[in-house]
Structure 1
């Protein structure tokens, strides 16, 4: 398992003036981590302390959560997401892939297969808000994003894992 933990990819984004982005925590991408178990993604997230979960799709407009981090695990099909706002990065995910979005990370579905389904969850079962980058929300969300604590568990590995190691060393 320790070898698998080294295969996580990290991505950092910059605030584009609309989508705020967390200033120090990278997006974490676990490619193919649950390729043989993707149908159990929601249950696995819950077992690892990430709750308030759902299975559905991803909005086709830029949005983010300023009061919690979010994990997305592809259950079936594939999706292309734009992460980090309008000028962010296009990431293609398929069944078995898991991506962890720090609070403030914009995301939008660009395209997806007809059978696309994704499980989403939040550390400790946090209730989430949905923000879209409206100008009036910015001062409040910038404060909220910085106040979101590092989760107690990694959504894939539980009590240990890359999230705990990477985010604790990057928290400002």
Structure 2
């Protein structure tokens, strides 16, 4: 996994109250407000992958999961409903364990179309990751990068 040379992974703990019943909609509205377009609701793939054409933010809408970040030298994090996770382009990630009710919302900066990469990056992929524009706003806080 190439990971990202500039933008760090960010874990936001309990961004939204866990007891809310509309967390998917709440995350989608928050991300959209900050220029990140929600594109899917689902669980997280259970195989190592990364995106070379887009940064990604995940909003945990229900349940809990253990995720591996960084590929073969992965570290594990636990996420629960109400948490969010910013994954810069190139950041390897996969689900190790997910509760039956786990649901994440995935969003990407406007104008960035995501791909799924599972192999060691070519120089072209590394160049694409390294030259990808930083998002204008943080998807969770709305602050500038």
Q: TM-score, normalised by structure 2?
A: 0.90
> 1:58 aligns to what?
44
Matched with 1:114 is: 100
Q: 1:145 aligns with which of 117, 122, 129?
A: 129
Given the alignment of the two structures, is residue 156 of structure 1 paired with residue 140 of structure 2, yes or no? yes
The question of whether the paired residues in 2 share the 8 Å contact of 1:66 and 1:104 is answered with yes
The yes-or-no answer on 1:23 pairing with 2:2 is no
Q: Which runs of 5+ in 1 are unaligned?
A: 1-18, 165-172
Q: Does 1:69 align with 2:51?
A: no
- SS of alignment partner, residue 86 of structure 1: helix
- Given that 2:28 and 2:38 are in contact with CA atoms closer than 8 Å, whether structure 1 keeps it comes out as no
Post-superposition shift, 1:86? 2.1
8 Å CA contact retained: 1:49, 1:125: no
Where does structure 2 lack aligned partners over 5 or more consecutive residues? none
Q: Give the RMSD, CA atoms, in angstroms.
A: 1.5
Aligned residues: 141
Shift, 1:24, TM fit: 2.8
Runs of 4+ in 1 over 2 A off after TM superposition: 35-39
